[in-house]
Amino acid sequence: MIADEQGGGGLAPDELDRYSWQRSVAGFGDDGQRRLKAAAVLVSRVGGVGGAAATYLAAAGVGRLVLAHAGNLRRNDLNRQTLMSTPGIGRPRVEQAAERLRDLNPHVVVETVPENATADNAARLVAGCDLVVGAAPLFAERLLLNAEAVRQGRPLVDAAMYDAEARLMSVVPGGPCLACLYPAPPPHWRREFPVLGAVAGTVGALAALETIKILTGCGPPLAGRLWTFDTAAMTCRTLTIPARRECPVCGLACPAPP
Protein backbone atom coordinates (compact mmCIF):
# COMPACT_ATOMS: atom_id res chain seq x y z
CA MET A 1 0.00 0.00 0.00
CA ILE A 2 2.90 2.29 0.72
CA ALA A 3 4.07 1.64 -2.83
CA ASP A 4 0.66 2.65 -4.19
CA GLU A 5 0.78 5.92 -2.31
CA GLN A 6 4.19 6.54 -3.89
CA GLY A 7 2.82 5.92 -7.36
CA GLY A 8 4.33 2.46 -7.69
CA GLY A 9 1.00 0.67 -8.19
CA GLY A 10 1.78 -2.82 -6.96
CA LEU A 11 5.53 -2.33 -6.83
CA ALA A 12 7.10 -2.57 -3.38
CA PRO A 13 9.54 0.14 -2.25
CA ASP A 14 12.56 -2.09 -2.81
CA GLU A 15 11.32 -2.86 -6.34
CA LEU A 16 10.91 0.84 -7.07
CA ASP A 17 14.51 1.30 -5.98
CA ARG A 18 15.82 -1.76 -7.85
CA TYR A 19 14.27 -0.60 -11.11
CA SER A 20 14.86 3.13 -10.63
CA TRP A 21 17.42 3.41 -13.46
CA GLN A 22 15.05 1.85 -16.01
CA ARG A 23 11.83 3.52 -14.84
CA SER A 24 13.19 6.71 -16.43
CA VAL A 25 13.55 5.07 -19.87
CA ALA A 26 11.28 6.95 -22.31
CA GLY A 27 8.11 5.00 -23.01
CA PHE A 28 8.81 2.48 -20.25
CA GLY A 29 8.26 4.09 -16.86
CA ASP A 30 6.24 2.68 -13.97
CA ASP A 31 3.52 1.44 -16.33
CA GLY A 32 6.08 -0.65 -18.20
CA GLN A 33 7.46 -1.94 -14.94
CA ARG A 34 4.02 -3.04 -13.78
CA ARG A 35 3.32 -4.74 -17.11
CA LEU A 36 6.58 -6.67 -16.89
CA LYS A 37 5.78 -7.76 -13.35
CA ALA A 38 2.35 -9.01 -14.45
CA ALA A 39 3.82 -11.09 -17.31
CA ALA A 40 4.99 -14.69 -17.60
CA VAL A 41 7.60 -15.60 -20.24
CA LEU A 42 8.64 -19.06 -21.44
CA VAL A 43 12.31 -19.32 -22.42
CA SER A 44 12.95 -22.37 -24.58
CA ARG A 45 16.46 -23.44 -23.63
CA VAL A 46 18.86 -21.42 -21.52
CA GLY A 47 22.03 -21.88 -23.56
CA GLY A 48 24.10 -19.12 -25.12
CA VAL A 49 21.11 -17.26 -26.58
CA GLY A 50 18.28 -18.15 -24.19
CA GLY A 51 20.49 -17.77 -21.12
CA ALA A 52 21.33 -14.19 -22.08
CA ALA A 53 17.66 -13.47 -22.80
CA ALA A 54 16.63 -14.92 -19.43
CA THR A 55 19.30 -12.89 -17.62
CA TYR A 56 18.07 -9.56 -18.96
CA LEU A 57 14.42 -10.50 -18.51
CA ALA A 58 15.08 -11.38 -14.87
CA ALA A 59 17.09 -8.21 -14.29
CA ALA A 60 14.32 -6.12 -15.87
CA GLY A 61 11.70 -7.63 -13.56
CA VAL A 62 9.49 -9.99 -15.61
CA GLY A 63 7.11 -11.45 -13.03
CA ARG A 64 7.47 -15.11 -13.89
CA LEU A 65 10.07 -16.89 -16.01
CA VAL A 66 9.60 -20.49 -17.08
CA LEU A 67 12.88 -22.07 -18.19
CA ALA A 68 12.62 -25.21 -20.34
CA HIS A 69 15.83 -27.10 -21.06
CA ALA A 70 16.73 -30.79 -20.73
CA GLY A 71 20.03 -32.28 -19.72
CA ASN A 72 23.13 -31.69 -17.66
CA LEU A 73 25.89 -29.15 -18.21
CA ARG A 74 28.92 -30.21 -20.25
CA ARG A 75 32.34 -28.60 -20.14
CA ASN A 76 32.06 -27.53 -23.76
CA ASP A 77 28.85 -25.57 -23.05
CA LEU A 78 30.77 -23.06 -20.96
CA ASN A 79 32.14 -20.93 -23.81
CA ARG A 80 28.64 -19.49 -24.23
CA GLN A 81 26.25 -20.64 -21.47
CA THR A 82 27.08 -17.90 -18.99
CA LEU A 83 24.32 -18.74 -16.50
CA MET A 84 26.28 -21.91 -15.71
CA SER A 85 29.45 -22.51 -13.74
CA THR A 86 32.45 -24.82 -13.87
CA PRO A 87 31.55 -26.57 -10.59
CA GLY A 88 28.15 -27.21 -12.17
CA ILE A 89 29.46 -29.56 -14.89
CA GLY A 90 27.29 -32.66 -14.79
CA ARG A 91 24.41 -30.90 -13.00
CA PRO A 92 21.07 -29.97 -14.64
CA ARG A 93 21.43 -26.80 -16.69
CA VAL A 94 17.99 -25.53 -15.87
CA GLU A 95 18.57 -25.72 -12.10
CA GLN A 96 21.80 -23.74 -12.32
CA ALA A 97 20.17 -21.13 -14.49
CA ALA A 98 17.28 -20.75 -12.05
CA GLU A 99 19.63 -20.36 -9.07
CA ARG A 100 21.58 -17.61 -10.79
CA LEU A 101 18.44 -15.76 -11.86
CA ARG A 102 16.91 -15.94 -8.37
CA ASP A 103 20.12 -14.51 -6.95
CA LEU A 104 20.03 -11.75 -9.55
CA ASN A 105 16.41 -10.81 -8.81
CA PRO A 106 14.46 -12.51 -6.02
CA HIS A 107 11.27 -10.69 -7.11
CA VAL A 108 11.10 -12.93 -10.20
CA VAL A 109 9.34 -16.28 -9.84
CA VAL A 110 11.60 -18.69 -11.74
CA GLU A 111 10.11 -22.06 -12.68
CA THR A 112 12.07 -24.90 -14.23
CA VAL A 113 10.99 -27.57 -16.71
CA PRO A 114 13.80 -30.09 -17.31
CA GLU A 115 12.52 -30.81 -20.82
CA ASN A 116 13.03 -29.48 -24.32
CA ALA A 117 9.97 -28.55 -26.38
CA THR A 118 8.28 -31.61 -27.88
CA ALA A 119 4.98 -32.39 -29.55
CA ASP A 120 3.82 -33.70 -26.17
CA ASN A 121 4.60 -30.65 -24.03
CA ALA A 122 4.54 -27.65 -26.42
CA ALA A 123 0.86 -26.81 -25.95
CA ARG A 124 1.19 -26.94 -22.17
CA LEU A 125 4.41 -24.91 -22.09
CA VAL A 126 2.95 -22.14 -24.25
CA ALA A 127 -0.41 -22.10 -22.46
CA GLY A 128 1.26 -21.23 -19.17
CA CYS A 129 2.88 -18.02 -20.44
CA ASP A 130 2.09 -14.69 -22.10
CA LEU A 131 5.05 -14.78 -24.51
CA VAL A 132 7.55 -17.35 -25.77
CA VAL A 133 11.28 -16.84 -26.40
CA GLY A 134 12.55 -19.47 -28.87
CA ALA A 135 16.27 -20.19 -28.56
CA ALA A 136 16.63 -23.93 -29.16
CA PRO A 137 19.39 -25.25 -31.44
CA LEU A 138 16.94 -27.37 -33.43
CA PHE A 139 14.36 -26.18 -35.94
CA ALA A 140 11.90 -28.86 -34.84
CA GLU A 141 11.65 -27.26 -31.38
CA ARG A 142 11.44 -23.72 -32.71
CA LEU A 143 8.74 -24.66 -35.22
CA LEU A 144 6.70 -26.55 -32.60
CA LEU A 145 6.68 -23.50 -30.33
CA ASN A 146 5.88 -21.26 -33.29
CA ALA A 147 2.86 -23.38 -34.22
CA GLU A 148 1.59 -23.39 -30.64
CA ALA A 149 2.20 -19.67 -30.16
CA VAL A 150 0.24 -18.88 -33.33
CA ARG A 151 -2.54 -21.31 -32.39
CA GLN A 152 -2.87 -19.86 -28.91
CA GLY A 153 -2.46 -16.23 -29.97
CA ARG A 154 0.73 -15.67 -27.96
CA PRO A 155 3.67 -13.62 -29.28
CA LEU A 156 6.93 -15.44 -30.02
CA VAL A 157 10.40 -13.90 -30.10
CA ASP A 158 12.74 -16.14 -32.10
CA ALA A 159 16.49 -15.55 -31.74
CA ALA A 160 19.11 -17.55 -33.61
CA MET A 161 22.77 -17.42 -34.55
CA TYR A 162 25.43 -19.27 -36.52
CA ASP A 163 29.10 -18.40 -36.60
CA ALA A 164 29.22 -14.60 -37.10
CA GLU A 165 25.52 -14.16 -37.93
CA ALA A 166 22.67 -13.30 -35.56
CA ARG A 167 18.97 -13.28 -36.54
CA LEU A 168 15.95 -12.04 -34.65
CA MET A 169 12.25 -11.82 -35.43
CA SER A 170 9.03 -11.52 -33.51
CA VAL A 171 5.85 -13.35 -34.38
CA VAL A 172 2.76 -11.46 -33.28
CA PRO A 173 -0.85 -12.57 -33.78
CA GLY A 174 -1.98 -11.86 -37.35
CA GLY A 175 1.57 -11.39 -38.68
CA PRO A 176 3.96 -13.69 -40.51
CA CYS A 177 5.39 -16.55 -38.48
CA LEU A 178 8.53 -18.65 -38.34
CA ALA A 179 6.96 -21.26 -40.65
CA CYS A 180 6.53 -18.52 -43.28
CA LEU A 181 10.34 -18.41 -43.33
CA TYR A 182 11.02 -22.10 -42.80
CA PRO A 183 8.11 -24.16 -44.17
CA ALA A 184 9.69 -27.39 -42.88
CA PRO A 185 12.71 -28.27 -40.72
CA PRO A 186 15.63 -27.47 -43.06
CA PRO A 187 17.47 -30.61 -44.18
CA HIS A 188 21.06 -29.39 -43.71
CA TRP A 189 20.91 -27.92 -40.20
CA ARG A 190 23.11 -29.67 -37.66
CA ARG A 191 22.79 -29.53 -33.87
CA GLU A 192 26.45 -28.53 -33.47
CA PHE A 193 27.25 -25.09 -34.86
CA PRO A 194 30.16 -22.64 -34.69
CA VAL A 195 29.61 -20.15 -31.87
CA LEU A 196 31.45 -17.45 -30.00
CA GLY A 197 29.58 -16.75 -26.77
CA ALA A 198 29.58 -13.01 -27.42
CA VAL A 199 27.54 -13.48 -30.62
CA ALA A 200 25.01 -15.74 -28.90
CA GLY A 201 24.79 -13.32 -25.98
CA THR A 202 24.24 -10.34 -28.29
CA VAL A 203 21.18 -11.81 -29.97
CA GLY A 204 19.93 -13.19 -26.63
CA ALA A 205 20.08 -9.73 -25.05
CA LEU A 206 18.19 -8.30 -28.02
CA ALA A 207 15.57 -11.04 -27.68
CA ALA A 208 15.03 -9.81 -24.12
CA LEU A 209 14.63 -6.27 -25.47
CA GLU A 210 12.09 -7.45 -28.07
CA THR A 211 10.19 -9.21 -25.29
CA ILE A 212 10.17 -6.06 -23.16
CA LYS A 213 8.92 -4.02 -26.13
CA ILE A 214 6.07 -6.42 -26.80
CA LEU A 215 5.05 -6.73 -23.14
CA THR A 216 5.22 -3.03 -22.31
CA GLY A 217 4.70 -1.24 -25.64
CA CYS A 218 7.89 0.77 -25.08
CA GLY A 219 8.90 0.42 -28.75
CA PRO A 220 7.83 -1.26 -31.99
CA PRO A 221 8.92 -4.91 -32.15
CA LEU A 222 10.25 -6.68 -35.25
CA ALA A 223 6.79 -7.90 -36.29
CA GLY A 224 6.87 -8.78 -39.98
CA ARG A 225 10.57 -7.95 -40.08
CA LEU A 226 13.68 -10.08 -39.76
CA TRP A 227 16.75 -8.43 -38.25
CA THR A 228 20.06 -9.92 -39.27
CA PHE A 229 23.49 -8.91 -37.98
CA ASP A 230 26.79 -9.90 -39.56
CA THR A 231 29.09 -9.52 -36.56
CA ALA A 232 32.18 -10.11 -38.72
CA ALA A 233 31.52 -7.12 -40.98
CA MET A 234 29.52 -5.29 -38.24
CA THR A 235 26.65 -4.65 -40.63
CA CYS A 236 23.00 -5.24 -39.93
CA ARG A 237 19.90 -5.36 -42.09
CA THR A 238 16.19 -5.38 -41.37
CA LEU A 239 14.29 -7.35 -44.00
CA THR A 240 10.54 -7.20 -44.54
CA ILE A 241 8.87 -10.60 -44.34
CA PRO A 242 5.58 -10.96 -46.18
CA ALA A 243 2.81 -12.97 -44.52
CA ARG A 244 2.10 -16.01 -46.69
CA ARG A 245 -1.43 -17.24 -47.25
CA GLU A 246 0.21 -20.53 -48.22
CA CYS A 247 1.78 -20.86 -44.74
CA PRO A 248 0.36 -24.01 -43.11
CA VAL A 249 0.67 -22.44 -39.63
CA CYS A 250 -0.51 -18.84 -39.91
CA GLY A 251 -1.89 -18.75 -43.46
CA LEU A 252 -5.53 -18.71 -42.49
CA ALA A 253 -4.89 -15.75 -40.21
CA CYS A 254 -3.43 -13.64 -43.02
CA PRO A 255 -5.75 -11.07 -44.57
CA ALA A 256 -7.21 -12.02 -47.93
CA PRO A 257 -5.62 -10.29 -50.96
CA PRO A 258 -7.61 -7.27 -52.22
Partner 1 sequence: MQIFITFTGPLRQAGPNAVDVPEGTTLADVCRRLADESAGEVRRHLLTVDGDIEPSLLVAVNGAGVPPEERSCRRLVDGDELLLMPPIAGG
Please count the residues of this chain forming the interface with partner 1, following the rule CB under 8 A.
44
> Based on CB atoms, which residue is closest to partner 1, 160 or 215?
160
**What is the smallest separation between the CB atom of 219 and Zn ion, expressed in angstroms?**
24
**CB-CB contact of 61 with 35 (8 Å):** no
Per-residue binding string, partner 1, 157-196, x by CB under 8 A, is --xxxxxxx-x------------xxxxxxxxxx---x-x-
The answer to whether residue 86 forms part of the interface with partner 1 (CB under 8 A) is: no
The answer to whether residue 242 forms part of the interface with partner 1 (CB under 8 A) is: yes
> Based on CB atoms, which residue is closest to partner 1, 18 or 69?
69
> Based on CB atoms, which residue is closest to partner 1, 8 or 47?
47
Q: Considering CB distances under 5 to 8 angstroms, the limit depending on partner class, which of partner 1, Zn ion, none binds residue 240?
A: partner 1
Judge residue 14's burial from the number of C-beta atoms within 10 Å of its C-beta, 0-12 exposed, 13-18 middle, 19 or more buried. exposed
Instruction: Select from 157, 137, 156, 166 the least CA-distant residue to 237.
Output: 166
Residue 156 forms beta bridges with which residues?
132, 171
Give the three-state DSSP class for 253: helix
The answer to whether residue 250 forms part of the interface with Zn ion (CB under 5 A) is: yes
Q: Give residues with Cβ within 8 angstroms of 128, minimum separation 6.
A: 40, 42, 66
The answer to whether residue 84 forms part of the interface with Zn ion (CB under 5 A) is: no
Give the three-state DSSP class for 247: coil
Q: From the list 22, 85, 152, 228, which residue makes contact with partner 1 (rule: CB under 8 A)?
A: 228
Q: Which long-range contacts link 104-108 to residues 24+ away (Cβ below 8 Å)?
A: 104/55, 104/58, 104/59, 105/18, 105/58, 105/59, 105/61, 107/12, 107/15, 107/18, 107/37, 107/61, 108/58, 108/61, 108/62, 108/63, 108/64, 108/65
The answer to whether residue 20 forms part of the interface with partner 1 (CB under 8 A) is: no
The answer to whether residue 113 forms part of the interface with partner 1 (CB under 8 A) is: no
Per-residue binding string, partner 1, 127-156, x by CB under 8 A, is --------xxxxx--x--------------
Site for Zn ion in 208-247 (CB under 5 A): 247
Q: Which residues bind partner 1 (CB under 8 A)?
A: 45, 47-50, 135-139, 142, 159-165, 167, 180-189, 193, 195, 200, 226, 228, 230, 232, 237-242, 244, 246
